[in-house]
Structures are given as structure tokens and as C-alpha cells.
Structure 1
Amino acid sequence: MRIGELAARSGLTASRIRFYEASGLISAVERGANNYREYTADAVMLLEIITSAQNAGFSLQEIRRLMPPRFDAWHHDELLDALRRKAAEIETLRERLAESLERLHAIIETIETKPEGLSCGDNAKRVMTRFRKQSEPAPKRRRTPARGRPRA
């Protein structure tokens, strides 16, 4: 099939398909006597896999490493490991985003509960002081031996 038909079947633009080809994500295609690119039927599924992987957060470099040279040559264990690593990365990101969201809600609440008569400038200082205190790591306690007891 030609690139126009592949674009219509995959929902991607011809330029995106050419980009994936130039990036090594889909193998070089045969050119007909008329010099048009000719793609196999597997190209549609391959493009769906690439698009799905990108939507799942994989970079093009990660996808390139995982793509087998042939459709029937997937490395099952490597693929599962990569999927598990990506899921863990996303979970870590989700936790960080949840913490950021919580901090933002606290800042919004602090701004909205401005004491009566407090100027905007003084309220900004109040908010930033509170924000800095929330962002500071808890001080580490230094262990000291109890009084009257000899050190070991």
C-alpha cells in the first residue's frame, strides 16, 4: 500500500510516517517502479504499536530499543520488564504530582484566608513564609547520650 492509504488506515499524517521511517521505527520500505513507497499490511499495526507506546509515555528511543526487527521476533521478557519499569515511573510521577497538587491547594487556601485588613504585600510574605516552612525538610535530630550514662 502507498503512504496515503497507510496514513488513512493509521490515522497518522504521511509526514509522521516518514518521520518514523527516518527514525528507524519502521523499516525502510520498498519503492515501486514509479518510486512510490510501498508498505506492507503489518505497517498499520506497527504504527498503532508506536502510537500506543508514545501515549503510554515511552520515548521514541525507548520504543526503538523495544521494537523487534521482525513482527514475529518480540522479546517477551524484555518487553514485560520495560512495561513494568514504565508503570513504576508513572506511579512515581503520579505520587509527585499528588504532592504538588496538595501543596498548591494549601497555598490557595492560605491566600484565600487572608486576615482582614492585611495588605496584599504582607499577605504574599505570609504565604511565602508558610510555603517555605512546608518545603523545608524536617531537621535531623542529633542523638546525644543520656546524662549521667557513660558512652559505650
Structure 2
Amino acid sequence: MSYMESITVAGDRQSTVVEALRCYATARRERRPVLPDLVAIAGRSGLAAPAMVALGSVFELTEGCLGRSLATGGPGRLSRDERAMLRLLDCADMADPASGSAAVPHGLPGVLIWAIRSARRLWPGARPAPPRATGATCPFDTIALSTPNEGR
């Protein structure tokens, strides 16, 4: 395994998500299989392997919706995409995810909603969804999530 980095973020779950995203991005750049490394992270984190498999699906679907690879930060620094992914994972259980919330004002494509919900169900201690509000910004800043076939 060529990817090993200790990451300190607010909370074990967030640290594990960031580590998994960085591992995922590295494996994709190097054109290696992603799942063996994600499953290894699950083992070190005390999570069931299916939780990391589901998280890998969330990463891949997010890239598909964005039409680009997810960017990662460096030691001690989160990228905008890493911060956005943490927000998505914290808000995906909103009552009406298709119409939006304070965290994701434009809503999410159905396939991404279900992938995030699945990953959250497999993850112990997921936080409840934040309340809906107007005037919020997209977790991925000016890049709105779209369905994979929109605009192509």
C-alpha cells in the first residue's frame, strides 16, 4: 500500500473520511484498485468493510455528478472538496434531499442521496441532519452537483 498518512480533523469519523478520500484519490491517480486500501482503513478504524465500500461509492458518484476528480488537501490542510464531502455526509438524511437544505441548497441527485444514506447507515454514530434554510451555498462552492447526463 503506497498511501499512509495520519490526519487530524475534528473527530474520528471525519478523520477516517478524509483519510479514505485521500486514499481513494491516490489509488485512482495511480490507476490501482481502490477497495483493498479502503477496506484496510476500515480495519484500522474498527469499521465494517461494507462501510468503506459504501463510502467509496459515494466518492465515485460525487465525481460523476461533478464531472471531475475530487481534490485532496495536504498534511494538516483540508481541500474544499474534502470539506464539502464532510458536509454531504453530515446532511444526507434531510427530510427532502431533492429540494435542498441549508447544507446543500440545490438538492442532490437521487443516486447520490441513496449512496450517502447507505454509507451513513453503515457508519456508527452519524450525526442527525441539519435544519433546512435558505441562502446557503453549495458544499462544492460554485460547482453544483448535477445528474450524470445533464449538460453533457
TM exceeds 0.5?
no
**What's the TM-score bracket when you normalise by the shorter of the two chains?**
under 0.3
- Higher RCO (CA-CA < 8 Å; seq separation 6+): 2
- Higher Cα radius of gyration: 1
TM-score between both structures, scaled by the size of structure 1? 0.26
